[in-house]
Structure 1
Amino acid sequence: MSALLLGLWLAAAQAAPADLDYIDAKRLADADEASVTGPAHAAMLAAQQSLLNAGVVDCALGRPQTDFTAFTIVMRLDAEGRVQQTWRQGSSPLAICLQRYVRDKTVFVPPKAPFYSALEISFTR
């Protein structure tokens, strides 16, 4: 019977990342990103910017935007840097489209896996 319980516990532990809510995922992203320093940090920021730029072109080019509320997309990356899961705070059409856009994209090779990373977008005048 204990082997069955251990198996159930392992299955639940493996499912845990899918059970994260936005707040927990964002907290993990903040911690993971803070752990990257020096040239690796600059490379991470450049990769995030490149992904964001491509996503904005894909989502907004030729489509007038009227909702400029801030939003955040948190991504869980695997060992190769591919986005495995996303969470979003904000519900503008651009936020929704960018969340879809980043899925399955490769961002950068993280120092560990899983690695949580966030794209925080705000519009100021």
Structure 2
Amino acid sequence: MKILVQTLLLSQALVAPLEFSDALKLADKNEAGLEAGVKSTLVQSQDTALHAAMANCVALAPGKLPAFTIVLKLDASGHALQSWRNNDLPVVRCAERELRNGSYKTNGQDEFYTSFVVSFTP
């Protein structure tokens, strides 16, 4: 019986949803491990997607655009499998939705985490 309970607890831990903070740590780790050329290509693909997302979502922003972070878990081909955000304003939910539809250039690693840390200065 003890083995069954331990197995059940372990299986629940393996499928527990990942929290935003944990996903962000994985993104930081994945991005830090990229070679310079791959990192540059990833940043360019992120920049293109973020500019398009904000163009489509900026009308939903309150008077001042908020700082926010979005984390994507990508498959080996660079398409989003899952996402997290640290802000629930409509403009951020819209940006998350738009960024999930993007395609990103990574090192081909399956389950690659990447983040978009966005802030605005006057």
* Equivalent of residue 121 in structure 2, options 115, 121, 124: 124
Measure the CA separation in 2 of the matches of 1:95 and 1:71: 7
Measure the CA separation in 2 of the matches of 1:100 and 1:37: 28
Which residue number in structure 1 is paired with residue 36 of structure 2? 38
* TM-score normalised per structure 1: 0.80
Q: Residues 124 and 50 of structure 1: is their aligned pair in 2 closer, same or farther, counting only changes over 3 Å?
A: same
Which residue number in structure 2 is paired with residue 28 of structure 1? 26
Aligned residues: 119
Q: Does 1:98 align with 2:102?
A: no
- Kindly report structure 1 stretches of 4+ aligned residues shifted beyond 6 Å: 5-8
Structure 1 gaps of 5+ residues are: none
Superposition CA RMSD, Å? 2.4
Structure 2 gaps of 5+ residues are: none
8 Å Cα contact 2:57-2:95 kept in structure 1? yes
8 Å Cα contact 1:82-1:106 kept in structure 2? yes
* TM-score normalised per structure 2: 0.82
Identity of aligned residues (%): 31
Aligned residue runs from structure 1 range 7-18, under 5 A: 13=14, 15-16=15-16
